[in-house]
């Protein structure tokens, strides 16, 4: 390999790794200085001149000119008569600049040099990736699915850097194939075995916040502030928003005309239901809004224990709890209060029609229970689990879930 070929390969490194010219110059100088020192000794005087843009490389080894017969160091000294062959007017005590060719080092040394260079560039590249993504924690990243494993998905960004989306950071209904485009937020960056690991997330509340910033200009511009976000990824989310400008309706702006803005976010989150509510410092009003769409009759607060008793009409209880209990659970997280639901004015909870549990129990399950004569919650609880399994086509796990929901209603 000659000098031009070697320099061409260095230029390729520079372009592929996106390393700036000055940094590349320093890397090349360090690598070649190391090689020259190995050849001529640590005390040798050498110089490396690199021009990565034009592909020029010049190596020089400086030797002290000594009188004939006074040579003590054959590597770093040269006798006057020999030096005068190249430089007729040279004198004893001066430096003799000797040009060094790549071929002088031998094939093994050149191979070692390339490996050393590749290693340094690889380390620099990893350090650059770490710094780049360390500054982008909390930002949305778009990439392409490259590899799908059981516990995580490997994603490549636009520069070909490898990013990781763990299974627990994926929305349960997420399904991707190799080559699919994917968006996620940078959740964290860490170094393992001197290799940067970039962790992405689609379940983080920050991801939802960034989607609002992307879809709602007023949020991006700071005219609307997102005060809090809570999520059950893929199921439901609640977002509390506030505007300091009375002319702006924060909820209306986030939802958009005919829901145009919120629909884009919902599609990205695999049809996750998103409730946008107005933030307020009035805790009772805040809890009432957080439990929407249920209509609250009254609320009793205990600020010391951070608990709240919420009273509703019987037909509003199932709406407050929501399917799978997501609505009341998220409302509690959003407001910071543990919420207990009570039927208004009822000392003993009366029986409840099964249809009122439609937000928590699928319709086909309710129809199956009705087919065996169970039209109310208590009528189901009066039958043993074993009999329910025998008399219906429902799985035992489904029966357990139905019983749990009904018992929580009557406790």
Looking at domain 3-131, its CATH architecture is 2-Layer Sandwich (3.30)
The residues near 31 (Cβ < 8 Å, ≥ 6 apart) are 113, 116, 117, 120
Q: What is the pLDDT of residue 229?
A: 97
How far is residue 186's CA from residue 175's CA, in Å, rounded to a whole number?
A: 19
CATH number of 136-203: 2.40.50.140
- Rounded CA gap, 322 and 31, in Å? 66
Report yes or no: 196 and 157 within 8 Å, Cβ to Cβ.
no
Cα–Cα distance measured from residue 28 to residue 231, given in angstroms and rounded to the nearest whole number: 51
Residue 116 region by backbone torsions, left for phi larger than 0, else alpha for psi between -120 and 50, else beta: alpha
Instruction: Tell me what pLDDT residue 105 has.
Output: 73
In DSSP terms, 186 is beta-bridged to 200
Please give the Cα distance from 164 to 120 (Å, whole number).
24
pLDDT of residue 347: 47
What local confidence, expressed as pLDDT, does residue 179 receive?
Answer: 94
Classified as helix, coil or strand, 122 is helix
- Contact of 309 with 296, CB cutoff 8 Å: no
pLDDT in tens, 47-101: 887 765 555 677 888 888 888 888 887 778 888 888 888 888 888 888 888 877 7
Report in angstroms the alpha-carbon separations of 162 from 146, 202, 207, 304.
9, 17, 19, 48
Contact 10, 117 (CB under 8 A): yes
All residue ranges of the chain with pLDDT < 70 are 1-21, 51-56, 103, 106, 345-350, 411
User: For residues 301 and 49, what is the distance between their CA atoms, to the nearest angstrom?
Assistant: 77
Q: Please tell me the predicted confidence (pLDDT) of residue 371.
A: 84
**Extents of the domains making up the chain:** 3-131, 136-203, 354-410
pLDDT of residue 35: 80
SS3 at position 241: strand
* pTM of the entire predicted model: 0.65
Of 314, 317, 323, the closest CA to residue 401 belongs to: 323
Within 165-310, residue ranges assigned H as helices are 205-215, 217-220, 250-255, 260-268, 283-290
Alpha helices in 174-282 (DSSP H): 205-215, 217-220, 250-255, 260-268
Question: Largest alpha-carbon pair distance within the chain?
Answer: 119
């Amino acid at each position: 390999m000659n000098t031009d070929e070697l320099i061409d390969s260095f230029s390729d490194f520079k372009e592929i790794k996106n390393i700036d010219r000055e940094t590349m110059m320093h890397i090349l100088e360090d690598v070649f200085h190391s090689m020259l020192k190995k050849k001529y000794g640590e005390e040798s005087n050498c110089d490396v001149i690199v021009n990565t843009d034009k592909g020029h490389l010049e190596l020089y080894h400086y030797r002290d000119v000594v009188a004939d017969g006074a040579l003590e160091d054959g590597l770093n000294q040269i006798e006057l008569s020999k030096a005068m062959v190249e430089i007729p007017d040279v004198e004893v005590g001066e430096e003799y600049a000797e040009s060094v060719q790549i071929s002088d080092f031998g094939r093994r040394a050149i191979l070692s040099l390339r490996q050393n260079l590749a290693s340094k560039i690889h380390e620099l590249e990893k350090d650059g990736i770490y710094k780049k993504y360390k500054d982008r924690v909390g930002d949305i990243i778009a990439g392409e699915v490259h590899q799908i494993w059981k516990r995580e998905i490997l994603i490549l960004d636009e520069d070909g850097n490898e990013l990781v989306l763990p299974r627990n950071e994926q929305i349960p209904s997420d399904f991707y194939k190799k080559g699919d485009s994917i968006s996620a937020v940078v959740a964290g960056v860490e170094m393992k075995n001197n290799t940067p690991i970039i962790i992405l997330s689609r379940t983080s509340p920050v991801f939802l916040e960034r989607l609002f910033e992307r879809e709602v200009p007023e949020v991006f511009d700071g005219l609307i502030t997102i005060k809090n976000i809570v999520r059950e990824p893929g199921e439901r989310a609640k977002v509390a928003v506030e505007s300091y400008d009375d002319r702006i309706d924060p909820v209306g702006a986030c939802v958009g005309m005919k829901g145009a803005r919120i629909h884009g976010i919902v599609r990205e989150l695999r049809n996750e239901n998103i409730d946008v509510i107005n933030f307020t410092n009035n805790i009772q009003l805040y809890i009432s809004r957080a439990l929407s769409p249920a209509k609250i009759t009254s609320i009793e607060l205990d600020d010391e224990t951070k608990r709240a008793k919420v009273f509703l009409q019987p037909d509003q209880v199932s709406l407050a709890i929501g399917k799978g209990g997501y609505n009341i659970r998220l409302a509690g997280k959003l407001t910071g209060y543990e919420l207990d639901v009570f039927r208004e004015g009822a000392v003993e909870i009366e029986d409840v029609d099964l249809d009122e549990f439609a937000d928590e129990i699928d319709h086909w399950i309710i129809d199956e229970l009705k087919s065996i004569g169970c039209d109310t919650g208590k009528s189901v609880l009066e039958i043993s689990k074993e009999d329910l399994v025998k008399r219906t086509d429902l799985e035992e796990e489904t029966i357990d879930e139905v019983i749990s929901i009904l018992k929580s209603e009557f406790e």
